[in-house]
């Protein structure tokens, strides 16, 4: 698949088959991710790959974050709700947590470290698509919660930037739509 085709045809695939994904393919995705641009060559990323029972770390993170806000439930109702949260981690055979691990160099601008980690996710997603895999970049409030960071054992300066759910597609990708690039472009010429 040519790069431009991969860029134009990649879509978020939230429904994937339960079939396992070969470890070599996952390693290929992560290798592609590590070639993302990064200022000062800091490579500010880390990948936590969860398969099988390993996904339970994420599920427990979801449950702990939710439990903190559920003051009106108890007993069976609470446990059922927490089990639904735990099940979120099982929606794909592979979940990759992408972490920004910023450099402590005084030359580094923290927001650029986050930008680099985000570009690593884009490389990972494009490579997954080119290899026939389906993936969706999930985030949301639970991902940023301190209890989720604790579940993954993240350091004080580390940040989760993506939860990439990955597997073989179990749906037809929708056709993408974008506004013309010219409508989003300003030329400053002299």
HEC string of 165-185?
EEECECCCCCCCCCCCHHHHC
Give me 87's structure tokens: 């099940």
Spatial neighbors of 158 by CB under 8 A, at least 6 apart, are: 46, 99, 100, 101, 102, 149
**Is 45 annotated for ligand binding?**
no
Q: Are strands 159-167 and 134-138 parallel, antiparallel or unpaired?
A: antiparallel
Cβ proximity of 96 and 45 under 8 Å: no
**Is 12 annotated for ligand binding?**
yes
**Is 10 annotated for ligand binding?**
yes
**Is 137 annotated for ligand binding?**
yes
**Is 183 annotated for ligand binding?**
no
Which H/E stretch holds residue 120?
helix 110-130
**Is 39 annotated for ligand binding?**
yes
Distance, in Å, from the CA atom of 182 to the CA atom of 4, rounded to the nearest integer, reads: 17
Can you give the C-alpha Rg of the chain in angstroms? 18
Instruction: Summarize the annotated binding site as residue ranges.
Output: 10-12, 39, 137-139
Instruction: Summarize the annotated binding site for FMN as residue ranges.
Output: 10-12, 39, 137-139
């Amino acid at each position: 698949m040519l790069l431009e085709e991969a860029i134009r045809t990649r879509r978020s695939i939230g429904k994937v088959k339960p079939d396992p994904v070969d470890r070599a393919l996952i390693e290929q995705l992560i290798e592609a991710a590590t070639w993302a641009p990064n200022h000062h060559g800091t490579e500010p990323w880390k990948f936590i790959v969860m398969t099988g029972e390993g996904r339970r770390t994420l599920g427990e993170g979801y449950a702990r974050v939710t439990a903190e806000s559920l003051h009106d439930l108890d007993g069976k109702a609470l446990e059922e709700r927490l089990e639904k949260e735990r099940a979120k981690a099982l929606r794909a055979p592979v979940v990759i947590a992408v972490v920004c691990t910023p450099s402590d160099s005084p030359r580094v601008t923290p927001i650029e470290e986050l930008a680099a980690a985000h570009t690593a996710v884009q490389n990972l997603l494009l490579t997954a698509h080119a290899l026939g895999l389906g993936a969706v970049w999930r985030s949301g409030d639970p991902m940023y919660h301190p209890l989720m960071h604790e579940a993954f054992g993240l350091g004080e300066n580390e940040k989760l930037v993506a939860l990439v759910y990955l597997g073989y597609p179990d749906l037809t990708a929708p056709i993408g739509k974008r506004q013309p690039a010219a409508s989003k472009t300003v030329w400053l010429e002299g």
